[in-house]
Structure formats: C-alpha cells, structure tokens
C-alpha cells in the first residue's frame, strides 16, 4: 500500500535533501561512526546548551530556507525537559533575529490520556507555555493529540491526526527525546515499525520517570496517545536529543546496538537522515568516547592513559601492577606499552597516579574559608557528609549554602503531622490557639480538596520549606557544624511551587555572588552531578558559574572549585581529582546526618526512575563501592571513599 507521508518525504529535491544534511553537519559531528560501530550519525557536544543551540539553529535555517522558497515548514515537536532549551532558543531567535513562525505548522508527538488540555500536566499546555504563545504561529496550525476525547473516539482522533500530517505535506523536521526504555514518543518496548498514531499503555519505567511531574507514580496516567514508529520515520529529517549521564546506556544501545523491537529508538537506524545530538554526559558510554583507542589511534595524554589502564584492569579482573603484555595486546593497547617501553612502566605510572589522588584529612584544606553549595537541603550530607566532617575537624570556617527550599519534595502528610503538633501545643496552652486555629483550618481545607499536581497555597509551601530547613540544620549539627553555618538562599528560579522551574536569572546570580563576596572563600564545593533527573543541580551550578564569571570579569579573586556528585552516582576513580577515605565511624556519622532529613526518609517523593533504595543506602553502597574499586585495582584498602573533581578555572 502506498504511504502518502513517505511520498511527501520523497518529494523533496535531491538538492534540498543534500543541503539539509550538510546544514546539520557541524565541526563536532565526528565522521568515524562506522569504525566506532555507530549505526546512526551522532553529534557530540559539550553540554545541553550546545545541543539546544545546534538543533534550534538547524530548525531556524530550515524555516528561513523554506520561506525563501515559498514553502511551508512542518515541524514534529516533543515535550519534556530535554527540548526546553531548543524552544527557549527558538523564542530568542523570533524576538531578537526576526525568525517567523507564520508559515510553520506543528504536530506534537504525544499526549497523556486521559488529559484535559488545560491541565498543568498536559503537553498541550506545555507547548503553549514554552513555545507557541511566544512566537507568531497561528493557533490553527498547532496540532497536539487530544487527550480529552471519549475512549471510543480515540481511534478516530488518531486516524484524523495521521491525515492532518499527510495533508500538511508530511513532517520536515522531527524532534525526539529518548526514554529510559529507549522509547521515542510513547512507543514503548514492543512497538512495531509499522505502528501509527494510537493509544498505548505506558511502561512502568516511563511512569516512574514521570513521577516527579505528577507528585507520585500513582498519579501518572497509565495510557497515552502517541505518533507511531512509522509516523516518525516518515519525517524527512529526525533529530534525537539526549542529555545527562543517566541516558548514556540507552543512547549507546540505540546508536550501536542492533534494531530491536524492545528498543524503539533503534528503528532510527533505518532512516536516511536521522541524527543523534548528545551532550558529553549522554554520549559517555559510546565506544568512541568511553574507549576511543578501540576506534582509532589516540594521543596518549596522562588522563587517557589512566582511563585506559583502569578499563583494562576491570576488563581482565586483574590488579594494575599485575597487567601483562598479553593483556595490553589483546585489548588494543599495544601502542601504550610501546610508548612507555614495557607493561611494568605503564602499570607503575598509573598505579602511582591513582595513589596520588588519595587525600586523607591531613591533606585537605585547613584553617580556610569554605562554602558548600547544596542545591537541595540534603545534598550536602548525602554527597559530602564525610568531607564536611573532616573540614570541621580541620578548623575551617564553613558556610553551607542551601540554594533552594526543596519544599516541593515534602509529602502532604508531613504537613498534616506538623500542623497537628501545633494544634496539640495550643491545646496544652504552650502557644496561642488564636494563632494556630486559623492556619490549621486553612491548611486542612486546602489539603482535603487538593488534586495531584496542584500548586500548594503559600502557607503549605512555607510549612514545607520550614520542615526542610529544620532538617538541614539538624543534619549539619550531626557533623559538628553550628546552626549558624546554614544559609538558606531561596533562589527565585525554584519558587514556582511546581516541579518545572524558571530559567536562572540575574536575581539568582546576584544572590550567589553576594554570598561569595561576603564570605570570600578559598574553596567552594559545588554539585557537579550529571545524572540529576530533576535539573535543579544543573541550574544551581549554572547560577554559581555565572557568579564566578562576574567576579573574574571584575578582577576579583575566585575560589578553587571542587565538584561533588549527587545521590545517583559517584565520580569514577579514574576521573576523580581527589579520593577522600572515610572510616567506618565517619561513614556511620554521615548516614546519621542523612537520617535527620526525615521528610526524605523511607520513601522520598522524587527518588529517581530506576532506584528504589533510600538515599542512605545509595550513599553506603556508593562510598564503600568506590573504596572496593580502588582495592580491586590493587591499591590501598579503605572502608569507604568520597570522590571529587577540581574544576578547571
């Protein structure tokens, strides 16, 4: 049977297709894909902002080229955190560089079902809030699957959606994200290559990944309407965007693995003009990034040498000092031995380099002024509780700067518990009932009628903020810091009451800069996590980086920056600048500090999509695991370890 959408795709001239492909190709689009086993053209850039700019400017070039030729442009659009930067840049191009959307038609990939168009969870609303209401696109040219039609009307709505795409001439440029299951759109494992727009049942991994947006997995719809694989592959050009280290494994599977019904993104390998745009974190598991010596000759820098030898040691399950000529030869590393003359020379070099990373308390800052920036009110103790204890012992002057309130990560039942406590105090005559009763009544009335995802009233937001702040103070007191060491910055970008936050703005940067100027630290500790599923860590670091840049521009001294990781992963030993040993007692004290965050205990509201463990369990496994890794490599044996990377100035 003829495919009208495919006919529309094939209607583009050879010259237009060649021009489109060359426009995508940038200086970072590496042309050794076949040797690296890459089955989709893949562009690797430094960070998520680079991904957003590259894709947005490709779309802008396409629109302008079509406008000049008198042709309309049809865009296939995606939702979620990954394409947000693309939409922000497109809005900027519209406002500042006169990019017009007057001749653009848009079709969105999917929508939850059932879902009212005006719900805060609706993709219809998402697109208008982040793109359509900020550009000159006509409302009648905007198409989003209707999540509100009666169930018996979904099939007809889906068929009409397909016809509308064909009537528009087919999709010129399709944006995709990639889910943890490898889904594109909501095409979950088992979606066929011939699938079209339809109702689907969402995989549990997908629902867990969306749990934060819905304030709990139980509130995530179990179904959605999505374009099918065949609908997506009918687009003339496809861009799959991937950012963050938590996407690294599935990106490698999609790019380097065989086409598989269980991983929908692998079907993109069959498309003649599909490109994966990944930041370095999302691309970190690709062969050409993780083990480039297996792809082509490399320049053996000290860092790459350490990485290769650690990789080899893991691969053959042998300590570094026991690696042999045969080990190196069988794993593509003969050039490294040739460079240094013998396996023993390489082994010794890397063994000593790793040993030099180990820093006990005597080698850590002492008598210095220090700021620990904590994006949420528990990241400090989760990520660097051991370090904080050592810095206290070394008599440093320490400020722990909590950048956000973390109030959206408090369950409503905790609010009820604390309000009940206040009411009990009032009944005992310890506080004035006239102050408590009106507050309690207002809070209870709101919570009794609150729907999942509703923004809390100000009183509830403030109670949740105070809960997190009290827990934060209790946590640092466990490590020996006084309550006065806690600073609550309450950065404005976070204060939306929703999971989605505002972009970092001048006010956020000014607050961070003011603290840096006031405290004049010699060292600052910053969350450098690449896997934070919420984005708050990344945005907090963005504010810090901007404040430091302003200080440099003003000729002011800037501190040394140590990056720690969040709750999800630790720095690998070969990437870490410093490895800080923890004794059994120090790890126990760190876990006790984590326990003080009772609102996050037992079942944190946003634990991440793939890990059911509590934060203290992840920390224990992560810190003891880092020490075990060092032991397996043949270095000294320690009970536990934290890892840090010193950022380049």
Domain assignment of residue 453, yes or no: no
d(CA 276, CA 130): 23
Of 253, 283, 234, nearest to 107 by C-alpha is 234
- Please give the model's pTM, rounded to 2 decimal places: 0.87
Domain assignment of residue 419, yes or no: no
Would you say 594 and 381 are in contact if contact means Cβ atoms under 8 Å apart?
yes
Strand 523-527 to 486-488 pairing = unpaired
Question: Is there a single domain that holds both residue 351 and residue 378?
Answer: no
- Look over the chain and give the mean of its residue pLDDT values, rounded to a whole number: 91
At 369, which CATH number? Answer: 3.40.50.10320
Lowest mean pLDDT of 212-221, 307-316, 347-356, name the range.
Answer: 212-221
For residue 11, the model assigns a pLDDT of 35
Domain assignment of residue 171, yes or no: yes
Percentage of the chain beyond pLDDT 70 is 92
Is the pLDDT reported for residue 646 higher than 90? Answer: yes
Domain assignment of residue 490, yes or no: yes
Domain assignment of residue 437, yes or no: no
For residue 35, the model assigns a pLDDT of 56
- Please state the rounded mean pLDDT for residues 200-228: 87
Residue 432's pLDDT band (boundaries 50, 70, 90)?
very high
The three-class DSSP label of residue 104 is strand
Question: Is there a single domain that holds both residue 320 and residue 371?
Answer: no
Q: Of 355, 374, 394, which residue constitutes the final position of a domain? A: 355
Continuous H helices in 287-371: 287-290, 302-316, 325-330, 334-340, 343-355
Instruction: Quick: pLDDT tens for 39-91.
Output: 999 999 998 899 999 999 999 999 999 999 999 999 999 998 889 999 999 99
At 160, which CATH number? Answer: 3.40.50.1360
Question: Is there a single domain that holds both residue 182 and residue 316?
Answer: no
Of 406, 444, 407, nearest to 422 by C-alpha is 444
For residue 78, the model assigns a pLDDT of 97
Is the pLDDT reported for residue 573 higher than 60? Answer: yes
Is the pLDDT reported for residue 27 higher than 80? Answer: no
Q: What is the dihedral of CA 475, 481, 483, 484, to 10 degrees?
A: -140
d(CA 186, CA 196): 11
For residue 209, the model assigns a pLDDT of 80
Is the pLDDT reported for residue 21 higher than 70? Answer: no
Listing DSSP states for 444-490 in one string gives HHHHHHPPTTPPPPHHHHHHHHHHHHHHHHHHHHHTT--GGGEEE--
Is the pLDDT reported for residue 224 higher than 50? Answer: yes
Residue positions annotated with a catalytic role: 188
d(CA 629, CA 357): 14
Cα within 13 Å of Cα(376), Cβ side: 29
Domain assignment of residue 556, yes or no: yes
For residue 193, the model assigns a pLDDT of 96
Instruction: Quick: pLDDT tens for 261-292.
Output: 999 999 999 999 999 999 999 999 999 999 99
Question: Is there a single domain that holds both residue 351 and residue 366?
Answer: no
- What's the burial of 297, exposed, middle or buried (CB within 10 Å: 0-12/13-18/19+)? exposed
Would you say 542 and 48 are in contact if contact means Cβ atoms under 8 Å apart?
no
Residue 217's pLDDT band (boundaries 50, 70, 90)?
confident
Is the pLDDT reported for residue 10 higher than 90? Answer: no
Is the pLDDT reported for residue 426 higher than 70? Answer: yes
Question: Is there a single domain that holds both residue 201 and residue 314?
Answer: no
Is the pLDDT reported for residue 132 higher than 50? Answer: yes
Question: Is there a single domain that holds both residue 506 and residue 526?
Answer: yes
Is the pLDDT reported for residue 8 higher than 90? Answer: no
Question: Is there a single domain that holds both residue 374 and residue 337?
Answer: no
Question: Is there a single domain that holds both residue 345 and residue 380?
Answer: no
Of 260, 242, 259, nearest to 251 by C-alpha is 242
For 235, other C-beta atoms within 10 Å of its C-beta total 27
DSSP conformation class of 79: -
Lowest mean pLDDT of 63-72, 164-173, 209-218, 231-240, name the range.
Answer: 209-218
For residue 498, the model assigns a pLDDT of 62
Question: Is there a single domain that holds both residue 135 and residue 225?
Answer: yes
Question: Is there a single domain that holds both residue 344 and residue 221?
Answer: no
The parent domain of residue 212 ranges over 4-24+36-248+255-261+270-278
Instruction: Answer with the residue of higher pLDDT: 32 or 154.
Output: 154
Domain assignment of residue 83, yes or no: yes
Is the pLDDT reported for residue 315 higher than 90? Answer: yes
Instruction: Quick: pLDDT tens for 436-491.
Output: 999 999 999 999 999 877 889 999 999 999 999 999 999 999 999 999 999 999 99
Instruction: Quick: pLDDT tens for 78-125.
Output: 998 889 999 999 999 999 999 999 999 999 999 999 999 999 889 999
Is the pLDDT reported for residue 34 higher than 70? Answer: no
Give Cα separations from 406 to 245, 502, 539, 581 (angstroms). Answer: 23, 15, 14, 29
- Please state the rounded mean pLDDT for residues 361-367: 98
Instruction: Quick: pLDDT tens for 538-554.
Output: 899 999 999 999 999 99
Domain assignment of residue 452, yes or no: no
Question: Is there a single domain that holds both residue 274 and residue 320?
Answer: no
How many separate domains does the chain show?
3
Residue 86 CB contacts under 8 Å (≥ 6 apart), including other chains:
51, 52, 55, 56, 59, 175, 241
Residue 245's pLDDT band (boundaries 50, 70, 90)?
confident
Question: Is there a single domain that holds both residue 384 and residue 349?
Answer: no
């Amino acid at each position: 049977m003829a495919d009208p959408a495919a006919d529309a795709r094939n209607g583009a001239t050879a010259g237009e297709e060649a021009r489109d492909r060359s426009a995508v190709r940038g200086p970072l689009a590496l042309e050794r894909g076949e040797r690296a086993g890459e089955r989709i053209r893949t562009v690797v850039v430094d960070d998520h902002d680079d991904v957003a700019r590259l894709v947005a400017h490709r779309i802008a070039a396409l629109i302008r080229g079509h406008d000049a030729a008198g042709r309309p442009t049809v865009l296939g659009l995606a939702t979620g955190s990954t394409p947000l930067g693309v939409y922000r840049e497109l809005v900027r191009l519209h406002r500042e560089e006169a990019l017009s959307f007057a001749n653009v038609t848009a079709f969105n990939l999917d929508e939850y079902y059932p879902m009212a168009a005006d719900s805060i969870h609706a993709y219809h609303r998402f697109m208008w809030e982040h793109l359509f209401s900020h550009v000159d696109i006509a409302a009648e040219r905007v198409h989003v699957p209707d999540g509100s039609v009666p169930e018996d009307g979904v099939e007809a709505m889906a068929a009409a959606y397909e016809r509308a795409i064909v009537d528009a001439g087919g999709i010129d440029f399709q944006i995709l994200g990639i889910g943890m299951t490898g889904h594109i759109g909501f095409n979950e494992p088992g979606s066929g290559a011939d699938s079209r727009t339809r109702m689907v049942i969402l995989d549990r991994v997908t629902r867990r990944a969306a749990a934060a947006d819905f304030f709990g997995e139980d509130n995530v719809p179990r179904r959605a309407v999505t374009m099918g694989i065949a609908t997506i592959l009918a687009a003339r050009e496809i861009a799959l965007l991937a950012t963050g280290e938590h996407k690294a494994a599935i990106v490698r599977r999609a790019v380097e693995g065989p086409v598989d019904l269980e991983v929908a993104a692998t079907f993109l390998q069959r498309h003649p003009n599909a490109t994966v745009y990944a930041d370095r974190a999302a691309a970190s598991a690709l062969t050409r990034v993780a083990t480039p010596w297996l792809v082509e000759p490399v320049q053996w820098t000290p860092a790459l040498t350490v990485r290769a030898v650690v990789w080899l040691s893991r691969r053959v399950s042998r300590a570094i000092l026991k690696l042999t000529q045969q080990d190196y030869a069988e794993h593509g590393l003969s050039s490294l031995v040739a460079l240094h003359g013998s396996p023993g020379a390489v082994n010794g070099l890397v063994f000593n380099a790793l040993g030099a990373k180990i820093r006990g308390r005597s080698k850590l800052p002492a008598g210095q002024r220090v700021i620990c920036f904590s994006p949420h009110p528990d990241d400090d103790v989760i990520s660097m509780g051991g370090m904080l204890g050592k810095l206290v012992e070394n008599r440093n002057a320490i400020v722990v700067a909590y950048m956000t309130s973390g109030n959206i990560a408090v369950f409503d039942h905790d609010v009820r518990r604390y309000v009940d406590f206040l009411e009990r105090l009032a009944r005992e005559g310890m506080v004035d009932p006239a102050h408590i009763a009106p507050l309690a009544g207002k809070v209870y009335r709101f919570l009794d009628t609150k729907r999942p995802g509703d923004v809390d009233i100000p009183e509830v937001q403030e109670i949740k903020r105070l809960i997190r702040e009290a827990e934060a103070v209790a946590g640092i007191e466990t490590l020996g810091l006084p309550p006065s060491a806690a600073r609550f910055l309450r950065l404005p970008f976070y204060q939306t009451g929703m999971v989605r936050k505002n972009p970092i703005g001048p006010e956020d940067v000014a607050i961070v800069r003011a603290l840096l100027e006031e405290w004049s630290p010699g060292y600052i500790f910053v969350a450098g996590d690449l896997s934070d599923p919420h984005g708050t860590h990344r945005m907090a670091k963005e504010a810090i980086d901007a404040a430091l840049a302003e200080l440099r521009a003003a000729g002011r001294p800037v501190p040394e920056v140590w990056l720690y990781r969040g709750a999800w992963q630790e720095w690998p030993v070969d990437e870490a600048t410093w490895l800080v040993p923890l004794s059994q007692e120090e790890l126990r004290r760190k876990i006790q500090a984590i326990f003080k965050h009772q609102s996050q205990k037992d079942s944190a509201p946003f634990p991440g999509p793939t890990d059911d463990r509590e934060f203290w369990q992840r920390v224990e496994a992560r810190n003891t695991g880092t020490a075990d890794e060092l032991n397996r490599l043949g270095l000294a044996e320690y009970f536990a370890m934290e890892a840090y990377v010193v950022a380049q100035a």
